[in-house]
Amino acid sequence: LYAGTGYGGSCFPKDVQALQHTAREAGMELGVLRAVEAANERQKQVLVTKIVERFGADLSGRTFAIWGLAFKPNTDDMREAPSRVIVAELARRGAALRAYDPVAMPEAKKVLQGTPRLTFVAEAQQALEGADALVLVTEWREFRNPDFEAMKTALKQPLIFDGRNLYDPALLKSLGFDYRCIGRPG
């Protein structure tokens, strides 16, 4: 198990809900599964909370690069994807967003259609240009070893909100980044 922005997809969320429904029909309450669902919904807000703590509740005039939209790498599946909640919350708070995903862009464009101030870009580096911070949501392999110097140059400030703990906090600190991750110091 890894700390992160929560689970998504078509199977696990549906299975948890189905088990709860079956238990209710049998007159039982499965408190553990109810707690799992509630914890997962809270996890989808963790990066938003960290961003609000850093920038304040009104994100008007701020731009965030979003890396990763699918619920997990190696798929285009956007069902129950944590990125959907993160994008919606940041947009609701007035932020402009530049999003990139190596596979899920066509599906993300359908699912996130109509989100204000959301732009889809063709390359990960393009999302960073002039952004206030990077918000890393899906742990795609191509995000594991970025050119950190190019990232620093592209971003307004060297700030990363990492929802998948891809990077070593000590390394990022030594490179001059403000690195905010989930479930560990950093």
Question: What are the φ/ψ torsions at residue 136 (nearest 5 degrees)?
Answer: -95, 120
Side chain identity, residue 169: P
Q: Are 88 and 156 in contact (CB under 8 A)?
A: no
Concatenated DSSP letters of 41-96: HHHTTHHHHHHHHHH-S--TT-EEEEE--SSSTT----TT-HHHHHHHHHHHTT-E
Q: Are 114 and 54 in contact (CB under 8 A)?
A: no
- Catalytic site residue 11? yes
Catalytic pick from 2, 6, 7, 11? Answer: 11
Catalytically active residues, by annotation: 11
